[in-house]
Amino acid sequence: MPNSNRGFDVAFSFSAEDAWIGKDMASILRESGLKTYFSKDNQDFTGGFLRKELMDVYKNSSINVMLLSMSYMSKPKDSVVAMERNIIWQRHIGKNEHSTLFVILIDDVAIPEDFELCLAHNIKDIGILKSRDFIINRLIDCFKAQLPVKGYYAHPQGCEIERGKFQPCKFRLSSNFRQDPLERWKSLSDMMVVPINIEVQKELKTYLIPSGAVPPFLSHSTLLKTDTNCLALKLGLSLQFFKNYAKDDLDGVLFYIRRDGMEYPHVYCYEYDRFLCENYGMEHCPTSKSSGPKKRAAD
């Protein structure tokens, strides 16, 4: 299933002495919609099969973050920290995946020779908030996108309570999506649509939004509202999707999001999810002169 089988977006490796820094970083990233492994908050995750589970965590994450310090380097060879460092080395150095490792120097520790090819930042220079931005930008570059499964839809993690049941529907993209009275196109790049075979209250606008199969930097409202790069990326892709599918009747599922005692109609669409997952890594911006990604042939 999309999203549910995906590894963590970000996994932290750190010594106990530096846990407070990792906890703050993990918390900020979670608030931004990222699936984050931080052992102090996931203590049951590796219960019983520590080595195997840690290998799965650090091998399947989109990004690993090593909080490198003197205390981290001083841990004995039989410690959990040394085990994590070994697993991380095997993936990022042994298999030449340097770009998916983000090293943050916590103190004046020297970068070990076997990690010297990896880009490192000092926490004193970038701080925790800027670290978040750097990690998100690296995530955009390195995210292991899994294409959605046709006919299967899931709400993004943590949104299940406020989002209702799915109703299969057909819809068209609204040609007036830029004149959105709620300005969701401007703030989130959410596109208005017109349901064809399901009636909704006339005064309510229906929006096409990404499902849980789409990377968080294209789907989570906190990231889109606070990171201009994420918003510009989604906006460029959505504009190209409109150009490709403006004349089509599209299949999807309609559901309602409950907020402030009201229910607002929204739509997920397999074609939109797949388009975002396949093309987010390409050069896109609202003013791009290129023709952009092409419409896929029917399955």
- Both tokens of residue 163? 């989002």
Q: Where are the domains of the chain?
A: 10-142, 167-279
In Å, how far are 10, 131, 138, 149, 264 from 120, measured between CA atoms?
16, 11, 13, 37, 45
Torsion angle of the four alpha carbons 43, 49, 52, 58, in this order, in degrees rounded to the nearest 10: 0
Provide the terminal-to-terminal Cα distance of the chain, rounded to the nearest Å. 18
| Average pLDDT estimate for 44-64 | 76
What's the pLDDT at 294?
Answer: 56
pLDDT per residue as tens digits for the range 249-292: 999 999 999 888 888 999 999 999 999 988 886 443 333 333 45
The pLDDT confidence band at residue 237, using thresholds 50, 70 and 90, is: very high
Which pLDDT score, from 0 to 100, does residue 64 have? 94
Quickly count: other Cβ atoms within 10 Å of residue 118's Cβ: 20
**Mean pLDDT, the chain, integer:** 85
10-142 has CATH 3.40.50.10140 classification: yes
